[in-house]
Amino acid sequence: MVAIPYDEIVKAPKALLHDHLDGGLRPATIVELADGIGHPLPETDPAALGEWFVTAANSGSLERYLETFAHTVAVMQTEEGLHRVARECALDLAADGVVYAEVRYAPEQHLERGLSLDAVVEAVLAGFRDGTAEAAAAGRTIRVGTLVTAMRHAARSQEIAELAVRHRDSGVVGFDIAGAEAGFPPTRHLDAFEYLQRENFHFTIHAGEAFGLPSIWQAIQWCGADRLGHGVRIVDDITGESAPVLGRLASYVRDKRIPLELCPSSNVQTGAAPSIAEHPIGLLRDLRFRVTVNTDNRLMSGTSMSREMALLSEAFGYGWAEMQWFTINAMKSAFVPFDERLSIINEVIKPAYSKLITERPL
């Protein structure tokens, strides 16, 4: 099986829908910011700290994986900290060849040092604007939209949904709920989702990662999610070895082209998938679900969009055609307006891949 070399994957345009701002900090930035506020870290050497995050997140449980965020959230409590993290995020994604990204975070987790919810959102938006402009000046065009997340164990989702809608014209393109899944069903936040639908706004829901089909069913049929954050456990509704048989929910998800924001490395770390090679993405792609490839948390997984693509290329033999398919799937499923999506597909993604396919068949 031939795999696409990593450095060629970096150069190809990629689209990313599921990336957490507080899961993608540079280790060196955490060290500097933590030093400035006196926050104790498990390691103070950036390389050792980066390794610590990956090891600690390799827990096999979503709950333990999420504990590592205490150290990133701690250094994102000031306008300067939030601005810096967002700016660096845009630069890092652009350097990795990501041309479109939706980055999410939960403003309610950034109020410990007195910021208001609106000030948090504004600092992050400004960071993304500056990072994007710097990347463009260096010849790397990236469009970054933010998703505002509410924590599913908390009870602020209505307020956070209103916050997202308030900033819809300055860069917030959607809403999400995240956090521990088991015991916190999406319907706890039904009011927020109904409000968002009335506002003609977009939202995705983390569902079908650490909990199975009931969570996915609620997210879609009760809450009206546009996309599924992970959604990987939709495979629980697919039976049959040689000829797969789709249950009613899996059929619905596929028929309605509901995008699955799959995050291979993250799933292996939290125990949602045994390995990359055994990840359900292989089956879901063969069955032509609307599959997208995502990073989830670049710091906790020691990964990047290019690395996720490279791992899949190695494990499943995917070449440019599959990579283009994942990328266009993501772009079709993005929360920015249709004309913007179309122009990135037709003017950026398709020309780049047709060149790669002709010049470097893989």
Closest CA to 279 of 290, 263, 299: 263
Question: Position of tokens 């950026």?
Answer: 348
Within residues 292-321, the interface with Zn ion by CB under 5 A covers 296
Which residue number places its CB atom closest to ligand NOS?
Answer: 178
Whether the Cβ atoms of residue 125 and residue 79 lie closer than 8 Å to each other: no
Task: State the nearest-atom distance from the C-beta of 102 to Zn ion, in Å.
Answer: 11
Annotated binding residue 296? yes
Q: Tell me the torsion sign for CA atoms 199, 203, 207, 213.
A: positive
Closest CA to 204 of 14, 18, 16, 15: 18
Task: State the nearest-atom distance from the C-beta of 180 to ligand NOS, in Å.
Answer: 7
285's CB contacts (< 8 A; 6+ apart) are 291, 316, 322, 325
Task: State the nearest-atom distance from the C-beta of 178 to Zn ion, in Å.
Answer: 6
Q: Which helix (H) or strand (E) holds 207?
A: strand 204-207
Which residue from 14, 20, 254, 279 is in contact with ligand NOS, where contact means CB under 6 A?
A: 20
Which residue from 78, 149, 306, 333 is in contact with ligand NOS, where contact means CB under 6 A?
A: 149
Residue 293 or residue 349: which is nearer to Zn ion going by CB? 293
Within residues 25-84, the interface with ligand NOS by CB under 6 A covers 62, 66, 69, 73
Residue 215 or residue 324: which is nearer to ligand NOS going by CB? 215
Choose from ligand NOS, Zn ion, none: what does 196 bind? Cβ within 5-8 Å by kind.
Answer: none
Q: DSSP label at 203?
A: B
Residue 141 or residue 187: which is nearer to ligand NOS going by CB? 187
Cα–Cα distance between 185 and 251 in angstroms, integer?
Answer: 22
Cα–Cα distance between 33 and 81 in angstroms, integer?
Answer: 7
- In the set 108, 209, 261, 322, the catalytic residue is 209
Residue 231 or residue 319: which is nearer to ligand NOS going by CB? 231
Site mask, Zn ion, residues 258-297, x = CB under 5 A? --------------------------------------x-
Environment class of 221 (CB within 10 Å of its CB; exposed 0-12, middle 13-18, buried 19+): exposed
Cα–Cα distance between 188 and 102 in angstroms, integer?
Answer: 25
Report, as residue numbers or ranges, the catalytic residues. 209
> Binding residues for ligand NOS, per CB under 6 A?
20, 22-23, 62, 66, 69, 73, 104-106, 109, 149, 178-179, 206, 209, 266, 296-297
